[in-house]
Amino acid sequence: MPRYRLAIEYAGTRYSGWQVQKNARTVQGELLRAIREATGAAAPDLQGSGRTDAGVHASRQVAHLDLPNAVKPELLRRQVNDTLPADINVLAVEPVPHRFHARRDAVSRSYVYQVARRRTAFAKPFVWWVKDDLDVRAMREAAGVFVGMHDFRSFTDADPDEVSTDVKIDAIELKEDEALVLVRVTGSHFVWKLVRRLVGVLVEVGRGGLTVHEVERFLEEPSPVPARLTAPASGLFLERVVYPGEPGPGPLTAVTPVPGAGPALRLGR
């Protein structure tokens, strides 16, 4: 049974996340439907590198696909794209050994969150507009608190008795890009809602509502505060999934720019 590696981009706004669910429209569900129509395979097996929540996007999700018969990769890509909705797109298809596993073989994942510093008529589904002025220097200082291995039980709804809430964050980068503040979080794996709550806490620091010392305490003892500060799904993108021998993510850039975001409009309300 041949196996293929797929690179996929999608806007998650209209979907209830990546994973197939009953009575809900999902990205994996749309892909499986398109693959069945394109190939005639009754039960193709498609496994992603990880789940994304409802409303979360991906600029390069990775999945592996098992089919009963071999298909030319470029033909497969085109035929599947012909039957997909416009907000899901297969970027690349390549044959891989059957031992390749999209989730288990990944060595790191990076997410990018886009905070808009002005209102936008065009990019609303892909940003979180924060009206308040943000102290990016303070946000960057607070981000350093999260780097390394920590217990993030205050940052997830996962049950710590069933799922380990210990996560190693490899790096957090912040960059001002005209009307956007970009936050990139890189690590080997993430627990549910971690990145969105981490960003929400950083934004609250930027607003002046939290100190770095208070942020440190969220990692020392359970707190309900990060949950109350959860950033919207709209600004979050799964940026990159890295496998052994592959380079990490490149320079941090906006996934979806805010049109007309020159300096004069930067903090426009």
Q: Given this model, what pLDDT does residue 121 score?
A: 87
Which pLDDT does position 269 carry in this prediction? Answer: 40
| Per-residue confidence (pLDDT) for residue 122, from 0 to 100 | 86
CATH tag, 3-96: 3.30.70.580
Q: What is the DSSP string of the chain?
A: --EEEEEEEE-GGGSS-SS--TTS--HHHHHHHHHHHHH--SS-EEEESS---TT-EEEEEEEEEE-SS---HHHHHHHHHHHS-TTEEEEEEEEE-TT--TTTT--EEEEEEEEESS--SSSGGG-EE--S---HHHHHHHHHHHSEEEE-GGG--S-TTTS--EEEEEEEEEEEETTEEEEEEEES---TTHHHHHHHHHHHHHHTSS-HHHHHHHHHS--SHHHHTPPPGGGEEEEEEE-TT-----S---SS--TT--GGGTT--
**pLDDT computed for residue 263 by the predictor:** 44
Is 53 annotated in the active site? yes
The mean pLDDT values, 10 residues at a time, for the chain of 269 residues are 96 95 95 96 94 95 96 97 97 97 97 94 93 96 97 88 88 94 95 96 97 96 95 97 94 79 43
108-246 CATH, one of 3.30.70.660, 1.10.3720.10, 1.10.357.10, 3.60.20.30: 3.30.70.660
Where are the domains positioned within the chain?
3-96, 108-246
Per annotation, catalytic residue among 53, 66, 87, 177: 53
Query: Exposed (0-12), middle (13-18) or buried (19+): which is 63, by Cβ within 10 Å?
Result: buried
pLDDT of residue 163: 83
Q: Establish whether domains 3-96 and 108-246 are of one fold.
A: yes
Q: What residues have CB less than 8 Å from 148, skipping those under 6 apart? A: 168, 169
Written as six digits, the tokens of 16 are: 């209830």
Overall pTM surpassing 0.75 (yes/no): yes
